[in-house]
Every structure is written in C-alpha cells, then in structure tokens.
Structure 1
Amino acid sequence: MQCPCNPQKDYTDCCQKAHNDILSVKTAEALMRSRYSAFVLANIKYLQKSHHSTTRPNKREKRKIEAWTKSVNWLKLEILNSTKETATDTEGTVEFKAFYIENGQMGVIHENSNFSKENGHWVYANGEHSS
C-alpha cells in the first residue's frame, strides 16, 4: 500500500514505522506526516499518543475526531514549510495543507502546527489555521 503522506513511498517503509514505534520519529515534519497518515487510516490511538498531554483531546472529542476522519475521503498532504528539522531539536513548526472530500465538497485544512518533544518523543502541541 502507498503511504498516505507520500504516494512515492510504501506505507511499510514510511509512516507504519512511526505508528508502530513513536520513538522512531526523528523530526517535527516526520511526526506531522505520520499524524496525517493516522487521520487517513483512522488510527486514533496513534493520534492520541502523538498529541501533547496538555492539549490532547478528551474521550468525547476523540470519538468526534474518529467519526469525522472516517466520514471524509482524504486526498493528499502538502508540506509548505518546516523549521528545526534535525534530530537534536526539541521543538519545530510545520505548515501544511491536507486536502479531503466531505459530502461531495473538497475541503482543505491549512495549518501552522507547533511540535515539541515530550517524554522523549515528538508530539503535536497546537496549531493555527490559515485561510
């Protein structure tokens, strides 16, 4: 199967590694890509694990996210910019666009996301949506 984050790669050689072992994720962009793939695959357990403990969705929000991610047809991910892309960094940002179809209409999530390390691995902290 092609990896949702990059159709040029196989899932087993890309995001599956992160989904199986979050400690294998070395950069903020790699975490962003693995989170996009988790949305496509409705891997809510990984989305929770890769979310900062202070901003992690509660059980009700988690159920809503799972229902929504299963209701849309994910099309593609575009990484527009990323900062602090070395394994020694402890925080970074990724600007991305995630395209999807919902109820016959194309939608896009355009966000500047903030990432940091917590408990020795990268996590999503928060993001600011752009139009």
Structure 2
Amino acid sequence: MSLSCPCNASTPYASCCQPLHEGQAVAGSAEALMRSRYSAYALGLRDYLLVSWHPDTRPDTLDLDDTPGLRWLGLDVKRHEDGGDGSAVVEFVARHRIGGGKANRLHEVSRFARVDGRWLYVDGEFK
C-alpha cells in the first residue's frame, strides 16, 4: 500500500510531492510548489522548505515546530492566481491538531516568484 500525499490524501505521495522533494521534478505552478511546501512541513523536510524559498526573503535557518503530538490534517487551496509576469498568489487553509486538542486553521495568502524557471515562495500574509 502506498503512502498518501499530505497535500491530497487521494493521491499517492510517490506521484505527487515526493519527486519535488527529492529534486527529480520542478513544480509546474505556484500552487504545486505551495502544496509541496505544505507536505514538506507535514513531513519535517526543512532542507526542501529552505531551497524552495526565495533567496531575498529566506531565513538563514528554519526551526520546524516539533511540538509533541502536532499533526497536519489537511490542505484546502482557496485560490491560485498566476500574474503572468513570473508572479503568483496562492490562498490556502491548512489544518493541524496538537494531541487530542481541537483542530486549528492556518489561513494564508502566499506570494510566489518564478526565478530561472523555478517557482519560489516569497512571503505570506495570515488572514
């Protein structure tokens, strides 16, 4: 049985975000990159998160939340707007839970830029 992808439970990880995480593929859209970044957070892939971040806004280090019992529950993409000029916006809601607590929502509007043929995360604003 194949592992399902954190960004879309109905899709196998091996045919969704895994090729991006392993550097075997390049995200074809800002939405695909955002989905792969959500999956990277869910899987604890710090290096992928840093390499997919625009160098102008990328932090020097990234501490992932290692709260015991933290579990990412799902992703809902609300909109994806390609600016046609190498920029894009993706609005999404990511849900997570800590232990047996209630689910929390992280609602963000993220900006992306295409640099040398690759989409990169620039920054985001929480709603």
Identify the match of residue 56 of structure 2 among 54, 57, 71: 54
1:117 aligns with 2:114: yes
Structure 2 unaligned runs (5+)? Answer: none
Structure 2 CA distance, aligned partners of 1:69 and 1:27? 29
The CA deviation at 1:21 is 2.0
Query: Is 1:127 aligned with 2:124?
Result: yes
Match among 101, 117, 122 for residue 97 of structure 2: 101
**Distance 1:70-1:123 versus aligned 2 partners, 3 A rule:** farther
Is the 1:23–1:121 Cα contact (8 Å) retained in structure 2? Answer: no
Give the TM-score taking structure 1 as reference length: 0.85
Structure 2 equivalent of residue 33 of structure 1: 35
Letter of the structure 1 residue corresponding to residue 117 of structure 2: G
- How many Å separate the matches in 1 of 2:21 and 2:116? 17
Which residue identity lines up with residue 71 of structure 2 in the other structure? Answer: N
Q: 1:82 to 1:22 in 2, by over 3 A?
A: farther
- Are the counterparts in 2 of residues 23 and 120 from structure 1 also a CA contact under 8 Å? no
Q: Which amino acid aligns with 1:2?
A: S
Aligned Cα root-mean-square deviation (Å)? 1.9
1:25-59: per-residue Cα shift (whole Å, max 9, x none)?
11000000000000000000000000111111222
**Alpha-carbon spacing, 1:97–1:33, altered in 2? closer, same or farther (3 Å):** same
Count of matched residue positions in the alignment of Structure 1 and Structure 2: 123
Matching residue of 1:74 = 72
Query: Partners in 1 of 2:82 and 2:14 — Cα distance?
Result: 26
What letter matches 1:109 in structure 2? L
**Larger RCO: 1 or 2 (CA < 8 Å, sep 6+):** 1
- Structure 1 residue ranges, 4+ long, deviating more than 6 angstroms after superposition: none
Gaps of 5+ in 1: none
Residues 29, 82 of structure 1: 8 Å contact kept? yes
CA distance in 2, matches of 1:113, 1:22: 24
